[in-house]
Structure 1
Amino acid sequence: MDDTLLSLRASFTSAGGSRIAYTDERRGDRDPQGVLWARVSQSLDERGAPTGKPLWRMISPPRQRETMSQLRCQDCRVLARTPEGLVFLHSTEDGVPEPSTTVLTAQPPVCLQHARMASKRCSHLAEHGFVALLAQSAPLYGVIGTPHRYTADRSIQVMACDGVPVPYGHADLDWLVASRLVRHIRAFTVVNLDDL
């Protein structure tokens, strides 16, 4: 059995419902909305900053959570907001989004200094192409994670993860271990990186 699964147990919410928890849950295991997050080790420097180059599509849950929640560039971790807005790189695998639509993304924003490099380092963007979305608004939406369930024999079972974002406030979050924070990009324009 997976060590992570062994460290999970059933618990209760403040409203009396059941939810998944760590047996030794500590501060930081849950986000401000009460969702449990996957524990993944990472190398940190003497200031507590992650070391090494980000793996764009395989970013670790702690680094992704930090950069998305604080709107920091996932490469250098500086605040990514520019006077014009936030820059998100978006795959064109399914086409270019219309400005009237809303886009859900688990990819943190990028600062202007690292936007071009990020588009080259991410194999998915390099393969499928990308557009830069300059967003005026990108509120938190929810998370992507691994669903679990409590079985009749009082054990916890891992369910298949479909990668679909679950919005904050949804009942399924009580039995989900999050690995990606998702933002809802709206009020955006498609821009050329050279124009920024």
Structure 2
Amino acid sequence: MSLWQHPSLPDRMGSIILRKRNDQMATLQLLPLLILTGAAVWVGIVLWRQSPSWLDRLLAVALPVYVICVFNLIFTTVHLSFIQSLPYRYLWVGKAQVIIIPFQGYDEQSILNIIMTVPLGIFIALLGRDQLPKLTTVCLIGLTTGLFNEGMQFILDQLISLNRTVDIMDVIDNGLGVILGYLLGLGLLVFFQRYFHLPPHK
């Protein structure tokens, strides 16, 4: 009898079925990213058609590229062992690991979460230059942005096992990034209007 044992037919069939299931899950995990990417591209096309100036056309290209990059960062699957190593207190809600206590620590990740939404605040200032929103409105937009990001991660954790941690601190960081970006955008707006005679956005 040979020492080399070939896999039995049931084992090979089981391996094929498991591989197909993994491929299907990988496709499902990419589907939300593809849908959101399509939406971002559509918004960019609409803005381009309505762009009266070079700055608006630049923003029409930059905005969807930025949104696609952010979606790729936050709506793609991560390895489970990474989130299990988090040093913070968390709880499981369904399939999602949720951190509901803010300010447990402020590390490099928190700074990156702020930086990630700074461009959004800049876009708000430059695209809304005809009628700038109040700071309170920008704060609400920032809060909504953070809630959308974390809420979508929570939903996708339940539906397709995204393996993302839902963190209340990320909501705060994202909101802060939008506010800082808006203030920076106001400064850029003054610069462009003074030196480039920027026309109004229509």
- Fold in common (TM above 0.5): no
Task: Looking at secondary structure, tell me which structure has more helix per residue.
Answer: 2
- Which protein has greater RCO, CA pairs closer than 8 Å, 6+ apart? 2
Query: TM-score normalised to the size of structure 1?
Result: 0.25
Query: TM-score normalised to the size of structure 2?
Result: 0.25
Task: Looking at secondary structure, tell me which structure has more strand per residue.
Answer: 1
Radius of gyration: which is bigger?
2
